[in-house]
Amino acid sequence: MKDTPSKPRASRTRAVHAGTRRSQYGEVSEAMFLTQGFVYDSAEAAEARFLQAGREEFIYARYGNPTVAMFEDRIAALEGTEDAFATASGMAAVNGALMSMLKAGDHIVSARALFGSCLYIVDEILPRFGVEVTLIDGTDLAAWEAAIRPDTRACFFESLSNPTLEVVDIAGVADLAHGVGALVIVDNVFATPTFSRAVDLGADVVVYSTTKHVDGQGRCLGGVICGSQDFVRKTAEPFLKHTGGSMSPFNAWVMLKGLEHMDLRVRAQAETCAFLAAELSPHDKLTRVIHPHLDSHPQAALARAQMEQGGTVLSIDLKGGKDAAFRFLNALEVIIISNNLGDAKSIATHPATTTHQRLPDDQKAMLGITPGLIRLSCGLEDPRDLLDDILAALAHA
Ligand SMILES: *Cc1c(COP(=O)(O)O)cnc(C)c1O
C-alpha cells in the first residue's frame, strides 16, 4: 500500500500494510533491523542527526529503529491516533504514559479495579513522587465527577477491568475530564485494538500491553502508547528513550507480524468467548458467569455501545469457592493453567491466588475477586472442545 493511498483503507488492510518500509532489496515481509546503532556518512551528518533526527533517521535503538517504527505506524493507523511509541512491555507503556506527563504536586483520578502492576504504579509509585492520586469505583460516573478537580491532570482506567470485566464509560469520563483540561489515559488491553473505539469516544491516550492480543501467541513482551503526535513525540518519547523503556527490534517484528492476523484471531476468539459465556450461564455449579455482552452483565448496554464484541475473556465463579476452583483447574485437559491472555491457547487463571494474590482480602472482596472466581482467556481451539473441557472439569468441581 502506498504511503498516501488514493482513498482511506479499512482496518484489516491497514493491519497488513500500514507503516511498511522497504529496504533497497524490496523484501515482501518486513525486515528485522536487528541493529543497536546506525552509521553516518560523515561527521557532519552525525552532528546534524543528533541536532534533529527526522522520522526516517535513526541514531540508537533505544531512541528508535526502522522495524519498531513500522510497528508504531501500523498500530497508530489501526487505533486511529496520529502516532504511537512502542515500549518494552505493557507496564513500560503504562508507566511511561503516566510518569512522562506528571510531576510532584499534580493530581490524577484513577479507577481502583486495575491490573496489579498498574495499581502498584498509581497507588505506590506516583504518591512517592508527590503525585496525589484519588482512587474511585470506575463504573460510577458520579464518583468521577466528585473526584475530578480543576487541577486534575489525568484520568486513568482500564476500559474493561481485570478480572471482573467492569466497564468504564469512556465518553462519560472524557466529558468530565476534558471539562477541566485533564487527559484521558485508557489501558485498553481487555477491549483489544480490534474492538476499540476509545479514541472516537474521547480517549486522548490509549495504552496496550501488546504481549496480549497483538502478539497473540505468547512469545514476546511489548507495549505501546497511542496518542497525538505532540503527546507521543514531545512527552512520552523523551521520557521513554532516556529511561530505557523502548521496544526491541526483534519484539517489534513479532508484533508487526501479529498485527497482520490480529483481526481474524481476535474475532474468532471473541466469538468463542460469547458462545462459552452463553452456554455456561445456566450451569448449576456457577454463581456467576461474567461476560460484558451477556444480558446478565449490569453494564451490558454500555458494553455493547462501547465494544463491537465483548472481548476474548470471560470469568466464572464456582459455588464451592477455592477448593472447587482448584479441582476445576486441575481437571482441565485442553485449557492450560497460566496467566497470559489473548493467546492462541486457552488459559485459565485463578486470580485470588495468582495475579491478585497480594491484594488484602477486603480489597479482593471489594473488587469481586472471590475464592471461586476463574478467568478464562479464550484461544483459537475448536469452541466445542473448549466447552467439553469446561463441562467435564465442572463435573469434577
Ligand atoms: C498484561 C497487562 C498489563 C501489563 O502488560 P505487560 O506486557 O505484562 O507488561 C497492563 N494492563 C493490563 C490490563 C494487562 O492485562
Residue 8 has a pLDDT of 84
Distance in angstroms (rounded) separating the CA atoms of residues 126 and 99: 8
Confidence of residue 91 (pLDDT cuts 50, 70, 90): very high
Picking from 104, 290, 276, 306, the residue whose alpha carbon sits closest to that of residue 202 is 306
- Which protein residue has the closest C-alpha to ligand 1 atom 11? 115
Question: Edge-to-edge strand order for the sheet containing 205-209?
Answer: 83-87, 223-227, 205-209, 183-187, 152-158, 107-111, 132-136
> What does the pLDDT average to over 225-229?
98
Q: Cell 474468532 identifies what position?
A: 268
Picking from 348, 340, 307, the residue whose alpha carbon sits closest to that of residue 158 is 307
Residue 127 Cα to chain centre, angstroms: 24
| Contacts (Cβ under 8 Å, ≥6 apart) of 341 | 189, 190, 212, 312, 313, 347, 349, 375, 377
> What does the pLDDT average to over 240-266?
97
What mean pLDDT is reported for the chain? 96
Confidence of residue 1 (pLDDT cuts 50, 70, 90): low
Distance in angstroms (rounded) separating the CA atoms of residues 313 and 292: 9
Of 95, 115, 224, best ligand 1 pocket probe by most atoms within 8 Å of the beta carbon: 115
Confidence of residue 2 (pLDDT cuts 50, 70, 90): low
Q: In 3-state terms, the chain is what percent helix, strand and coil (to 5)? A: 40, 15, 45
Q: Determine if ligand 1 sits within 6 Å of the CB of residue 144.
A: no
Picking from 331, 352, 345, the residue whose alpha carbon sits closest to that of residue 376 is 345
Residue 275 Cα to chain centre, angstroms: 23
Q: How far is the CA of 208 from the centre of ligand 1 (A)?
A: 7
Confidence of residue 67 (pLDDT cuts 50, 70, 90): very high
> What does the pLDDT average to over 198-214?
98
Q: Determine if ligand 1 sits within 6 Å of the CB of residue 158.
A: yes
Residue 5, pLDDT above cutoff 80 = no
| C-alpha distance across the termini of the chain, in Å | 53
* Secondary structure (DSSP) of 12-46: HHHHHHTT----TT--SSPP----SB---SSHHHH
Confidence of residue 393 (pLDDT cuts 50, 70, 90): very high
> What does the pLDDT average to over 120-137?
97
Residue 4 has a pLDDT of 74
Question: Count of alpha carbons within 13 Å of 349, Cβ hemisphere only?
Answer: 26
> What does the pLDDT average to over 366-375?
95
